[in-house]
Structure 1
Amino acid sequence: MDTTLLIFLLVYVALAIGHLPGFLVDRTGAAVIGAFAMIATARITDGQAWAAIDYRTIALLFGLMVVSGGFVVSGFYGWLAARVALLKVGPAALLALLVLTGGVLSALLTNDVVVVAMTPLLVSITLSRGLNPVPFLLGFCFASNTGSAATIIGSPQNMIVAQTLGLSFNGFLAAAFVPAALSLPLVWGVIAFLYRGRWMRAPSAEAPARASVPRLDKAETIKTLVVTLAVIVIFVTTDWPRDLVALAAAAVMLLNRTIASKDVLKTVDGSLLLLLMGLFVVNAAFTETELPQKAIAALAASGFDLAQPMVLLGVVSVISNIVGNNPAVMLVTPFLSHAANPLAIGAALSLGTGFSSNLVIFGSLAGIIVVEQAAARRVRIGAAEFCRAGLPVTLASLALAAAWVALM
């Protein structure tokens, strides 16, 4: 048990701070090493390790990443970002458009892919207009996180929640769509208030490069749009296995005469898939010690019963900002599969992890991506500035989520 607990703690320390202390090992590396260590020290057998990996969730996420990758290689994300950002509107209206774009795209496609594809262009376009890029990047990032809570396909943690609780696409939509949609005007209102009078960029001796609209491959965009709509329609109207539908859609996307399959596959976040697979194994080995079950029982005895949606909302909101939203969901879902009210539990998990992830940079992968890509283009978003905007957004969003969950 001591070895299992040590490995488990080291993995989650790495998840919390971004690396394994003393080593050049990131979050994904820590999860993979942890999984191998559990097997090598006989904390879990290789058969149990394979069985612990929820291949349906991995397949669903992989398939949807490939479909979303079609929009990347066709130039759609860049084209859309440019079209929106180059509209002749004022800063507040532009922020509203970017918040709406980020929220909607993230609800329909994997939010991390959307953020990766659009952030660089948003930086260049706002700079070319003489605008301060920070409020627009933060608004887009925050909206991508809260908007992604609306649907099963919005984020990896939503897929895990739906698979664990047995929620249909429509059921998940009923549980989370309304608060996710209402969160977007909240994000806009907070950012617009905080950055009023600070929309413009400080004068610089270096003239920013003029932004242009990227080339759009119309045929590939149409193909990807048709496949995406087909997937959503099948999810809504049938009970076909979602993982198989996503894989079939991925196969259609990879079958192409003009774009190489390797270019589409490059858009897949393999590190995220490995991270989730490693955590499935690490968490399964830890569960075998029965320590989590005892901890859950102790919490329930103290009045913190995770089967109560309001309690769960608070707990996962805190955990998400320590280890990240995907690991937070994976920690608690094994103990919720037989919950009395799966819709309310699903709403608590999705909204808690999606809405709280805007508090700090490492609360979500989207936050890390935006900050790092902006820094690479000499736009600095410090931890203090991120939190100064993220705190009121998170508190307002969580208040909305709590009211919604209470109604359920």
Structure 2
Amino acid sequence: MCRFLLRIWHIMLGGACAVLFLGQITPADALASINPDVMVFLLCMFIVGEACCRSGYLDTLTDTLFRYAHTSGELVALVLFGFGALAALLMNDTLAIIGTPLVLGLAGRSRIPAKLMLLALAFAITTGSVTSPIGNPQNLLVAVNSGMHAPFVTFATWLLLPTIASLAAAWLVLYLFFRKEWTALLKFEPAPVTTPDPDLIRIVQCSLVILIGLTLANIAASFIAGAIVMPLPLIGIAAAFPVLVFSAKRVEVVRSVDWTTLIFFAAMFVLMAAVWETGFFQSLAGIAGLSSVPAILATSVITSQFISNVPFVALFQPLILQAGGGTARLMALVAGSTIAGNLTILGAASNVIIIQQAETRGETITFIEFFRVGVVVTVIQVAIYAIFLGLL
């Protein structure tokens, strides 16, 4: 008897095929709706991430970064605040690609629940990305389209403290749900016996240097010129270039890329474009309320569950600017549309990447498992951002 397991990308692809079949969107419009910048960037990051795994460099990174953790609680704190800090520098989708095999390796070697580590990673990179204009695509949209001067300074001034508090809140919530495992002493088993590939390790290190270097150059350009000079697809291409050109295992790496996640994103763009054409969410956003920070936060969190947070921000930001703008309202839009990813799996693209990557390695989190923890995290974080943004 053949058992067919329905994956999240099957559902999204089915939805896209349905709207095409029913004529809700034309094939030409469907093709035009697929964002090539996102697809190219993700493909390149998948290539770098896969090379990290194949080279054996990921095991070295794991031992270096997390050897100081003695209990499960300490390990979760390092994941939350470590990946949260990195999410301010690197796009959260990038960290989802590289971080998932890393935390799953940690879970296996320390004998703590894989679900705990996956949730910690998801909450870390979603929450941490709030503080930077390059943490995620919707932040970049707000920073560029609002004409914000020195966006890195503005984001940090308004959002750094509540984000640190929100990461601490995520730690406390995970403690409540996993308290039995929290104080157990960690006994790290040796890394799996693999044969490191010194040549591929050097190439991966070169790719990571390029990735981080170009990102830091973007940050510097933001401080100096008030603009981001290097588009994300070019950063991705530059980072993947050493693997594709100089590695003898380039074919194996490309073949092992998580193509199903790329299919998910292409299908998502088509389905969201069809939903967008109905005009329903435009009307909802128009009547949801623009007058207060709590209303913007709540509207952002809820609506981002039904349409991607990027098109939601593209819709809602002009409405806020037309209503008089204000930095607090724009920052509420940034925070709400981002921490929406902590509520459900579909609230953030990085969550989907984490689940897809985990499923290829024999682990997963169901929608309900994610939601029952995420709803508590999200409610607390909305309150934190509402209080901080209301005081500034």
TM-score (norm 1): 0.71
Aligned amino acid, residue 107 of structure 2: T
Retained in 1: the 8 A contact 2:90–2:212? Answer: no
Retained in 2: the 8 A contact 1:73–1:264? Answer: no
Q: Does 1:25 align with 2:40?
A: no
Q: CA deviation at 1:18?
A: 6.2
Equivalent in 32, 42, 65 of residue 84 of structure 1: 65
Gaps of 5+ in 1: 1-16, 202-207
Deviations 1:28-77 (A, max 9, x none): x469949x954579xx9x9xx97xx798xx75895698579657645666
Q: CA deviation at 1:209?
A: 8.8
Deviations 1:1-51 (A, max 9, x none): xxxxxxxxxxxxxxxx96898xx7256x469949x954579xx9x9xx97x
Q: Does 1:167 align with 2:154?
A: no
* Separation in 2, partners of 1:372, 1:219: 27
Retained in 2: the 8 A contact 1:91–1:199? Answer: yes
* Separation in 1, partners of 2:363, 2:258: 24
Q: Does 1:146 align with 2:133?
A: no
Deviations 1:324-356 (A, max 9, x none): 533543443353343423422221122112223
Equivalent in 165, 168, 186 of residue 182 of structure 1: 165
Q: CA deviation at 1:145?
A: 1.0
Retained in 1: the 8 A contact 2:320–2:330? Answer: no
Q: Does 1:131 align with 2:112?
A: yes
Retained in 2: the 8 A contact 1:126–1:133? Answer: yes
Q: Does 1:191 align with 2:174?
A: yes
Task: Say if 1:277 and 1:122 are closer, same or farther in 2 by CA, change over 3 A.
Answer: closer
Report sequence identity in percent: 22
Retained in 2: the 8 A contact 1:78–1:118? Answer: no
What's the secondary structure of 2:305's corresponding residue? helix
Q: CA deviation at 1:97?
A: 0.7
Task: Say if 1:254 and 1:364 are closer, same or farther in 2 by CA, change over 3 A.
Answer: closer
Task: Say if 1:344 and 1:398 are closer, same or farther in 2 by CA, change over 3 A.
Answer: same
Retained in 2: the 8 A contact 1:70–1:264? Answer: no
Aligned amino acid, residue 398 of structure 1: V
Aligned residue in 2 for 1:233: 220
Aligned residue in 2 for 1:399: 383
Q: CA deviation at 1:134?
A: 2.2
* Separation in 1, partners of 2:120, 2:297: 23
Q: CA deviation at 1:387?
A: 2.6
- The 5 A counterparts of 1:233-382 are 233-240=220-227, 242=228, 244-246=230-232, 249-250=235-236, 252-253=238-239, 256=242, 258-259=246-247, 274=266, 278=270, 282=274, 285=277, 299=287, 304-382=288-366
* Separation in 1, partners of 2:171, 2:381: 12
* Separation in 2, partners of 1:193, 1:364: 23
Aligned residue in 1 for 2:369: 385
Deviations 1:89-120 (A, max 9, x none): 22111111111122122221121221122212
Aligned amino acid, residue 96 of structure 1: A
Task: Say if 1:238 and 1:133 are closer, same or farther in 2 by CA, change over 3 A.
Answer: same
* Separation in 2, partners of 1:40, 1:375: 31
Greater displacement, 65-74 / 136-145? 65-74
Retained in 2: the 8 A contact 1:305–1:311? Answer: yes
Gaps of 5+ in 2: 1-6
Deviations 1:224-248 (A, max 9, x none): 33222212211222134x3655465
Aligned amino acid, residue 152 of structure 1: P
Aligned amino acid, residue 178 of structure 2: Y
Retained in 1: the 8 A contact 2:73–2:175? Answer: yes
Aligned amino acid, residue 236 of structure 1: F
Retained in 2: the 8 A contact 1:164–1:337? Answer: no
Deviations 1:181-230 (A, max 9, x none): 322111112212331222599xxxxxx99546976433433333322221
